[in-house]
Structure 1
Amino acid sequence: MSRALVFDAIRLPRGRVRRDGGTLATEAPHRLFAQLLSALEQRLPVAEHVDDVVVGISTVTGEQAGNLARAAVQYAGWPEHVGGAVVSRLCCSGLDALATAAAKVVSGQSGVVVAGGVESMSRVPILSDRPAIATDVELGERTGFVTIGVSADATAAAYGFTREQLDAYAAQSHRRAVAAPVSDSVVPVRRGGEILLATDEGARADASAEQFASLPALFGDDPAWERVLRRLPGLEKPESGLHSIATAPQLADGASAVVVASPAAASVALPDCEPVAEIVAATHRAVRSPLLSAPVDAARDALQRAGIGTDDLDVVEANESFAVSPLLLTRELALDPVRVNPVGGALAVGHPLGATGGNLLVSALDSLRRIDGEHALITIPAALGLGSALVLRRLR
């Protein structure tokens, strides 16, 4: 059987979405992803040999519709034979793109694939596509759809996490993000000769659980709780909400790109390059919506398929889709908290939806290099009870 080898993994810095537009609000999503394609060609000349480009996007509407992947390939001036496709699994879209690339390579459908994701939440806000799950009452009732913030509160209540635990975790995320080393895997965003953004925005050195405890809860009075309790009749609604703006992921713009190739294709396309990692397993699972616990099941499945246990994990990147997500994964898999999100996460520096899967792979690989580790687990939850997981093995 062939293997899905990773030869490079890069991302853009995450730019915060602000009311005044934010640092990256001037950049259309195709430009964001095209900048990574141009950077890849400088770092690892491979465009001539790429069979396909697979891009994860959560909100596929407006400027993010119309096969952005192919448009970005052409905008970047890559060869005309290079195709492009978009995959969308809500917040899991970026991991889905990586899983798709790995599957294409392992199956022999493609030799070299660039996979990643992009999301300009400044220009294409979440739910701006007005999906039926959010606008059709009957469909919403059948699927259990509620906004992911209400899902996060319901999950925290179902598993017994307190407001204090959530606030403490968020403060830790900021501290770790502030202390994170600079990485050459982060490509500055440029406009002409000007650098618009070189590092992630959002992390606060002064963040504390005490500060966060004073913030109002966001979802305690949300009328969607009525649907939650109909779907999960045994759940006891907390007296007040559990997550605040501090324990919710910051909205962000960003993009990520990963070069995945089979050994045979790499011998031709990249004869002088050694792979840096290997995607050894990728899984998708679902649970009854609106719970966000599917990444736990997906992670167990991915570890089993990879043939390793939790003790073999050197790094875990559990997307901070809300504070409950990494806390739940850590507890249910009995993970070492020190190894979970060692450089912080979305609570501090943002969750640009479709780009996040690739962002987490970049962070995982950087962390593995720093500690000379071998295996990393990456997980992301999404609305409608979805969850994805990926196991990465570092080779050098």
Structure 2
Amino acid sequence: MKAVMLAAQAIMLGTREVIVAGGMESMSNAPFLLPRIRSAKYLGDYQLIDSLMKDGLRDPLKNVPMGVFAEMCAEEMGISRGDQDAHAIRSYEKAATAQATGLFKSEIVPVTFTGERKQELTVDSDEECSKFDPDKLENLPPVFKPDGTITAGNASSISDGAAALVLTSTQFAEKHGLQILAYIRGFSDAEQAPEKFPTSPALAIPLALQQAGLHLKDINLFEINEAFSVVDLANQRLLGLSSDDVNIHGGSVSLGHPIGASGARIILSLITGLALKGLNYGVAAICNGGGGASAIVIEREKTYRLYEHEIGHKQ
């Protein structure tokens, strides 16, 4: 999301006319690190470090997994294991329905590659939301503390993915005959103590709305990144949102959270939701770790619509 915000700023300043902004993450290929190997220390042991944990899933300031802070949020706000499991089930149900009805076809670009047995494979649908077994959810053990509430089922999965958006000025789009899907109306960042990161989106969203000259009541749909179910539940409660208006086609619990891609992905999902429902304004927000969060306000271009009976035929 920060890449999209920086691209928007460059276009607003007139230093660029068109920018492709987004990100990617191949979490399954994150390497192990062997520090100090170049120092030629021949005596003693070397320790392998999991770069996925060190650079992505562990808070760099407190040096603890982000899930520990999510557990603290759940305890402080009284969000139970049952609440989180119910949220996860809804997330998977929404994502599975969207996939089954072809609603993701306008968002997913098919990728063809050569498999391990030299056969050509094409991925044209999300793989995560088809793996869910609700009957196993309640029996999953907590991950971050023995009596905790967060499990592999109500947290986002280790995922690979990429997302990108094309940003231009209105003048550039009109000059080159490009279809405008939506407008960026405001964006902002917010920060608090690292252990408070799960609720930082609730701070960033009002700041972005203020920049856009809008109020919470003006917003039709929200995308709040589901790093953990508790993150979405906590921010819904703090902002007084209806769950019917948040992550309407599922979120990162059911679709995965490839860290560098999720910000751009939820913006695209927000635009798709607005276009399908013919609504005007949406907000996407994501926590960044370290106590930070970013939020962006989107307005749908009035002429851009998607229809469920047609979208299955579009690529």
TM-score, with length taken from structure 2: 0.81
Distance in 2, matches of 1:336 and 1:103, equals: 31
1:145–1:384 Cα contact (<8 Å) kept:
no
Query: Which of 186, 203, 220 lines up with 1:281 in the alignment?
Result: 186
1:161 paired with 2:88, answer no
1:247 paired with 2:170, answer no
1:284–1:388 Cα contact (<8 Å) kept:
yes
- Which residue matches 2:47? none
CA offsets per residue over residues 128-184 of structure 1, 9 Å max, x none?
Answer: 17859999xxx96xx334211111111111222111101110011010010012322
Distance in 2, matches of 1:393 and 1:194, equals: 40
1:182 paired with 2:87, answer no
The alignment partner of 1:338 has SS state of helix
Deviation for aligned residue 1:245: 0.6
Query: Which of 312, 317, 334 lines up with 2:218 in the alignment?
Result: 312
Distance in 2, matches of 1:265 and 1:358, equals: 21
Query: Which of 70, 73, 80 lines up with 1:152 in the alignment?
Result: 70
Q: How has the CA–CA distance of structure 1 residues 206 and 113 changed in structure 2, closer, same or farther, with 3 Å as cutoff? A: closer
> How many residues are matched?
276
Q: How has the CA–CA distance of structure 1 residues 333 and 160 changed in structure 2, closer, same or farther, with 3 Å as cutoff? A: same
1:173 paired with 2:91, answer yes
Distance in 1, matches of 2:173 and 2:276, equals: 26
TM-score, with length taken from structure 1: 0.65
The alignment partner of 2:180 has SS state of coil
- Which residue matches 1:355? 261
The alignment partner of 1:393 has SS state of strand
Q: Which amino acid aligns with 2:124?
A: A
- Which residue matches 1:384? 290
RMSD in angstroms over aligned alpha carbons? 2.4
The alignment partner of 2:231 has SS state of helix
1:197 paired with 2:123, answer yes
Q: How has the CA–CA distance of structure 1 residues 328 and 130 changed in structure 2, closer, same or farther, with 3 Å as cutoff? A: closer
Query: Which of 168, 171, 174 lines up with 1:264 in the alignment?
Result: 171
1:134–1:145 Cα contact (<8 Å) kept:
no
- Which residue matches 2:141? 216
1:298 paired with 2:212, answer no
CA offsets per residue over residues 11-66 of structure 1, 9 Å max, x none?
Answer: xxxxxxxxxxxxxxxxxxxxxxxxxxxxxxxxxxxxxxxxxxxxxxxxxxxxxxxx
**Percent identity for Structure 1 against Structure 2:** 30
- Which residue matches 2:309? none
Q: Which amino acid aligns with 1:330?
A: Q
Distance in 2, matches of 1:144 and 1:191, equals: 40
Q: How has the CA–CA distance of structure 1 residues 198 and 168 changed in structure 2, closer, same or farther, with 3 Å as cutoff? A: same
Q: Which amino acid aligns with 1:165?
A: D
- Which residue matches 2:278? 372
The alignment partner of 2:6 has SS state of helix
1:96 paired with 2:2, answer yes
Deviation for aligned residue 1:264: 2.9
- Which residue matches 2:25? 119
1:322 paired with 2:248, answer no
The alignment partner of 1:353 has SS state of coil
1:171–1:207 Cα contact (<8 Å) kept:
no
Distance in 1, matches of 2:297 and 2:57, equals: 32
